[in-house]
Structure 1
Amino acid sequence: MPLWSRAQQQDFRSRVRGCLLGGAIGDALGAGIEFESLEKIRAVHGPQGVTGYVPAYGRLGAVTDDTQMVLFTLDGLIRAHIRRDTGSWHPPTDLHLAYLRWAATQRDWGPDERRADLGWLGREEWLYAQRAPGQACLSGLSGPDAERLGTLEAPKNPHSKGCGTVMRAAPFGLLTTWDPGLVFQLAVECSVLTHGHPTGYLSAGALAVIVQTAARGGTLEEGVHLALALLSERPAHEETTTALRAALDAVRAGEPSAERVEALGEGWVAEEALAIGVYCALVAHDIRSGLLLAVNHSGDSDSTGAICGNLLGVLHGDTALPPGLVAGLEGRAALLELADDFVLELMHGPELHGPDAAGGAAWAARYPVLG
């Protein structure tokens, strides 16, 4: 691991925080209108559509399964890095275990204190709530086949390309010291844990690479072109490539509008959610306007808002996010705590769990690695 300067550490921390908070804000902005048509959104909320949080799940600023799964993705990545000390290195296994812990939040009333693997995130009671989880995510992580690790050769739900792959993929892009091809591959291998259609898992890989480019200080446009180059090397990339190119074409077509968003699809499937999120991030005059564009359409508003928020957050950092939206966001403390733990692990892992680590017991309790 290269040495990080203080400025690099501060910049990386801000981008990680921004990615998580921005995604959650976009998710929460779309949560209350997820299943509404653009016509109804405008009829209820005015010609501009929603301009801030609207009630969802009994409160303002509520997040959905999108943010829940992003949290568990980051938790799994931290544990995968810790597991390197044991001589066992297979991140998809740790991500599979993390998603199984998420699945428990969708069926249990609260954390089972008898479980030694939960860590601090699995004991967050507010996460034990169903927020319209995707069926492929649920079916891939429950039932008699739940414990089986989906692989590219034998994926779970081989015909599913729902957006449940791409809406949880941004954290893979925060692995900034990895080669982009490896980041793409890891996102793919962790997508087939629940979704096996090539368009689903390739869309996840594409988003991860775009996020990584921004996290390294590049532009979103550079990230999109790198993603297209990596996609071109993969079988069955055509749907994902076409969707990304459509997003770029829409940027050049004129002034941003909800109608241009709707021409890219509704976002229920992975490539459409990716295209909408990327388009809205590329044309955003500022973070708020980009997020509102990403949610005010007929379709999966929370997922497209989350993807756009991931991109704008990692591009600009947490301090650029609209303060009123940050303040009203459900789970903000947990999001920030997990983001900071991820940064600690990537920058100071050996000091936290190496043979001479003073805080090893505390870190092991937060992120237990069993077996």
Structure 2
Amino acid sequence: MIDLKSKVRGCFLGVAIGDAIGKAVEIWTHEQIKEKFGLITDYQDCKNNKYFPDDVKGTTTDDWQLTKAIIKSIIKEGNLDVDEVARQHVEEYKKTFNGWGNSTKEAIASLIEGKHWKESACSSSPNRGLGNGVAMKISPVGVLIGVKYFLSLNENNSFPYDKEEILNKVIDICGMTHYTNIALSSAFCQTTACMACLSYLPEVFNKQYFLKLMIKISTTIENSNLFHKTEDMLSNRFNLIEFDMTTEKIIESFGKGSCYVYDSLPFSYAFFLNNPLSIESLYNCVSAGGDTDTNGSMVGALLGALNGEQIFPEHLLNGLVNKEEVLTLADQFYEKLTNGVEIFVEPKS
């Protein structure tokens, strides 16, 4: 039995910790990391990060920044409201857009110029909407659905379990910055992944079911006409995942974990599924190179949602510069949705 609040905290801590531990070696290769650090198990100096060379270790990047934007929108509205999500993105843009992907940066700039979020991702620039910028920030939506599910089991619940309505808004959130089916597929997959991890106890988590679910979701979106179609399909990559892949095999199979979501998401899932009950999954993921901060944040979100905040060792919790911000927002999020009701995740009958 695990306190649901600990799982909410764990998911959001995982985003921030994974982001921060991968920050120093963003876009490094596995070989470079291995030569310099061996296996990364702690925060490192950021002097070699081209976006944040002056930052101290243990600080976060846009992965947490934009996840926070969605968290704050849910806290304000008590549900998922796309207008508020857009407004929070604009607020974060005004603080800094350092390290943001081009698709997100251009789309939010368009919002500031007066475009509606339904049109902000329209771009004549090539290769827009192909990155991992939606998957990296969407975890709060999965947590929202998961918490609402547990509330729906309480006979005194006054909150509707509006899963389908929320998922429809994921389409709008994705389309605000990334108008491609592959980005939408990644958004639905990571939303569902976080929801599933939140809903199960670690000891009964089924890796086979998880992977089959990701393949089913991605295939469904890829065959739709919701957004622009791409030749590359996440379902093809997910079908390559095995549960005992070596680091070298994961790197070889999934484009070295680049920021292209076709590489990044299956790369991250492969590391998570190798050992979803251990922090070693995060260490191995960020030590493998590529888009280390984003890949780390997505793996961290899943580890925390599944195992609760206790999955993260003291040195990572205490070394996270904005730990109190993360915990405060997580607790406000939980309080807003549950009115402080204590909920435990128990074995499913």
The normalised TM-score by structure 2 is 0.79
Q: Name the CA distance, whole Å, in 1 between partners of 2:72 and 2:206.
A: 26
Q: Name the CA distance, whole Å, in 2 between partners of 1:333 and 1:81.
A: 22
Q: What corresponds to 1:70 in structure 2?
A: 67
Is the 2:282–2:299 Cα contact (8 Å) retained in structure 1? yes
Q: Name the CA distance, whole Å, in 1 between partners of 2:246 and 2:275.
A: 8
Q: Name the CA distance, whole Å, in 2 between partners of 1:145 and 1:98.
A: 12
Match of 1:337 among 320, 325, 328: 328
1:323 deviation in Å? 1.4
More contact order relative to length (CA 8 Å, sep ≥ 6): 2
Is the 2:12–2:326 Cα contact (8 Å) retained in structure 1? yes
1:134 deviation in Å? 1.6
Q: Which amino acid in the other structure matches residue 60 of structure 2?
A: V
1:210-229 counterparts in 2 under 5 A? 210-217=193-200, 219=205, 221=207, 222-229=209-216
Q: Name the CA distance, whole Å, in 2 between partners of 1:144 and 1:207.
A: 25
Match of 2:233 among 229, 233, 239: 239
Q: What corresponds to 2:347 in structure 1?
A: none
Distance 1:12 1:157, change over 3 A: farther
Q: Secondary structure at the match of 1:193?
A: helix
Is the 2:14–2:301 Cα contact (8 Å) retained in structure 1? yes
Q: Name the CA distance, whole Å, in 1 between partners of 2:206 and 2:177.
A: 27
1:102 deviation in Å? 1.0
Q: Name the CA distance, whole Å, in 1 between partners of 2:111 and 2:64.
A: 26
Is the 2:33–2:287 Cα contact (8 Å) retained in structure 1? yes
Report Cα offsets for 1:318-369 as digits up to 9, x if no partner: 12211111110121000000000000111129xxxxxxxxxxxxxxxxxxxx
* Uncovered stretches (5+) of structure 2, i.e. residues with no partner: 47-53, 149-160, 341-349
Is the 1:99–1:141 Cα contact (8 Å) retained in structure 2? yes
Is the 2:111–2:120 Cα contact (8 Å) retained in structure 1? no
Is the 2:39–2:287 Cα contact (8 Å) retained in structure 1? yes
Q: Which amino acid in the other structure matches residue 326 of structure 1?
A: L
RMSD: 2.6
Q: What corresponds to 2:343 in structure 1?
A: none
Distance 1:92 1:220, change over 3 A: farther
1:59 deviation in Å? 1.5
User: Aligned pair 1:44/2:41, yes or no?
Assistant: no
User: Aligned pair 1:134/2:121, yes or no?
Assistant: no
Q: Secondary structure at the match of 1:233?
A: helix
* Uncovered stretches (5+) of structure 1, i.e. residues with no partner: 1-6, 83-89, 108-129, 350-371
Which one is further off, 261-270 or 308-317? 261-270
Is the 1:250–1:260 Cα contact (8 Å) retained in structure 2? no
Match of 2:251 among 261, 286, 289: 261
Match of 2:129 among 137, 146, 160: 160
Report Cα offsets for 1:37-69 as digits up to 9, x if no partner: 222112222xx3423211124312121110111
Is the 1:26–1:307 Cα contact (8 Å) retained in structure 2? yes
Percent same amino acid at aligned positions? 22
Q: What corresponds to 1:116 in structure 2?
A: none
Q: Name the CA distance, whole Å, in 1 between partners of 2:284 and 2:77.
A: 36
Q: What corresponds to 2:318 in structure 1?
A: 327
Q: Name the CA distance, whole Å, in 2 between partners of 1:230 and 1:284.
A: 22
1:285 deviation in Å? 6.6
1:233 deviation in Å? 2.9
Q: Name the CA distance, whole Å, in 1 between partners of 2:30 and 2:84.
A: 39
Q: Name the CA distance, whole Å, in 2 between partners of 1:305 and 1:258.
A: 17
Is the 2:120–2:176 Cα contact (8 Å) retained in structure 1? no
User: Aligned pair 1:27/2:19, yes or no?
Assistant: yes
How many residues are aligned here?
305
Q: Which amino acid in the other structure matches residue 336 of structure 1?
A: L
